[in-house]
């Protein structure tokens, strides 16, 4: 499984199309390229995209994830990616989740001037007292 060493953002874009409250917010993380930099280092080019629907706004963050794994796993992931154009989850689940969390948190700084909602829900807080264990 790829271990994320570093995430580097290379591009960001925010569009506010309408001043409506979005009905839904969808988030997508896609990998466009896997490059083996060194025997145990792979660079994954990614795009983090948020769509505020219907046609309220869009956010896009492009970057690279520097990852470490065995040379065999990197070659297997590259071969699978070349065939199906998706990152195999057995190698990349951790990477996708790291990109999602990191880009999501950083997107707050981009979207604030456009008055868009954060692309994630904070944990719900309850005012009820916790149930006692028996």
What is residue 124's predicted lDDT score, i.e. its pLDDT? 66
CATH architecture of 3-114: Roll (3.10)
pTM: 0.86
pLDDT digits (tens, 9 = 90+) for 6-22: 999 999 999 999 999 99
pLDDT digits (tens, 9 = 90+) for 78-120: 999 999 998 888 888 999 999 999 999 999 999 999 999 888 8
What is residue 123's predicted lDDT score, i.e. its pLDDT? 67
Beta-carbon contacts of 127 under 8 Å, excluding residues fewer than 6 positions away, are none
Any idea where the domains of the chain sit in the sequence? 3-114
Phi/psi of residue 69, nearest 5 degrees: -165, 180
pLDDT digits (tens, 9 = 90+) for 36-91: 999 999 999 999 999 999 999 999 999 999 999 999 999 999 999 999 998 888 88
Compute the distance between CA of residue 110 and CA of residue 13 in angstroms, rounded to an integer: 8
What is residue 68's predicted lDDT score, i.e. its pLDDT? 96
CA distances (Å), origin 32, targets 52, 59, 65, 110: 22, 17, 11, 23
Compute the distance between CA of residue 87 and CA of residue 7 in angstroms, rounded to an integer: 17
């Amino acid at each position: 499984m790829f271990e994320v060493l570093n995430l580097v953002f290379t591009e960001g874009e925010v569009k506010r199309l309408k001043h409506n409250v979005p009905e839904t917010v969808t988030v997508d993380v896609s990998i466009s390229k896997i490059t083996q930099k060194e025997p145990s280092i792979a660079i994954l080019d990614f795009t983090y995209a948020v769509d505020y629907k219907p046609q309220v706004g869009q956010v896009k963050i492009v970057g690279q994830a520097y990852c470490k794994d065995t040379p065999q796993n990197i070659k297997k992931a590259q071969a699978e990616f070349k065939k199906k154009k998706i990152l195999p989850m057995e190698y990349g689940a951790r990477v996708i989740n790291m990109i999602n969390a990191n880009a999501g948190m950083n997107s707050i700084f981009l979207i604030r001037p456009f008055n868009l909602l954060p692309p994630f829900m904070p944990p719900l807080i309850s005012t009820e007292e916790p149930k006692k264990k028996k």
